[in-house]
Amino acid sequence: MRLVKAGRVIEDRFVRVLDDAPVPEGVAAVLPATRLLADARDLVLRQAPTGVIWPNDRKIAELARYLDWIALVALGFPTFRDGRAYSQARLLRERYQFRGELRATGQVLRDQLLFLHRAGFDAFEVTKDADAAAFAEAVHRYSVFYQPTGDGRPSTLTARRARDGSPVVRGRREYAA
């Protein structure tokens, strides 16, 4: 798989470790969720970045207590029709304030790249080099969005209220923009 980050294909610095294989020292490693949860006490002491491949049928809340020392969370798309990882990405970025690398794996299609980025993903495993150019184009194609999301760009409502100095109303409470 090719890894696209910041609109270009880059070398993946993380080595994938199987369930029972030893974790190499001094090398960035990404582990399955079951392995991370089972060996968390030892893994927190590693001197190299550690990542996790988190399945889309597990609750993100199980991962929350480890996010302070995890450098990468890879969320899977087993099929292009299975969008649970979008919700997981939003939870990681918005509720749990995860600032590490958030990677989309599995069936990542180029027409979904903008939506993946808007949900908070910043790295994508793709099958073709041409997908890197598609990513760069997709991210810059639109400058205005109606929905608030995990990529940090304001929605049109938030931007308009900030420009006008009006409070942002969510539900019944008012918040300063």
Instruction: Kindly report the CATH number assigned to the domain that includes residue 65.
Output: 3.20.20.70
Together in a domain, 78 and 62: yes
Together in a domain, 60 and 111: yes
Per residue in 73-87, pLDDT (tens digit) is 999 999 888 999 999
Which range has the worst mean pLDDT, 22-36, 57-71, 79-93, 109-123?
109-123
74 neighbors 103 (Cβ within 8 angstroms) = yes
Q: Hey, is 155 helix, strand or coil?
A: coil
Per residue in 40-64, pLDDT (tens digit) is 999 999 999 999 999 999 999 999 9
Together in a domain, 122 and 158: no
Together in a domain, 6 and 74: yes
User: For 113, what's the count of Cα atoms within 13 Å in the CB-facing half-sphere?
Assistant: 26
| Distance separating the N- and C-terminal Cα atoms of the chain | 41
Domain that holds residue 159: 144-177
Together in a domain, 131 and 167: no
Together in a domain, 127 and 159: no
- Give the other-Cβ count within 10 Å of 60's Cβ: 20
- Give the other-Cβ count within 10 Å of 29's Cβ: 25
Together in a domain, 101 and 159: no
121 neighbors 103 (Cβ within 8 angstroms) = yes
Paired sense of beta strands 2-5 and 123-126, if any: antiparallel
In the block, tokens 């399955």 appear at 32
Question: What distance in Å separates the CA atoms of residue 29 and residue 175, rounded to the nearest whole number?
Answer: 41
In the block, tokens 């923009």 appear at 177
* Opening angle at CA 64, ends 59 and 68, nearest 5: 150
Together in a domain, 136 and 148: no
- Give the other-Cβ count within 10 Å of 89's Cβ: 27
Tally of domains in the chain: 2
Q: Hey, is 43 helix, strand or coil?
A: helix
In the block, tokens 């889309």 appear at 56
112 neighbors 56 (Cβ within 8 angstroms) = no
Together in a domain, 86 and 165: no
3-26 mean pLDDT:
88
Mean pLDDT of the chain: 85
Q: Hey, is 56 helix, strand or coil?
A: coil
Together in a domain, 165 and 79: no
Predicted TM-score of the model (pTM): 0.81
> Residue 15 has what pLDDT?
95
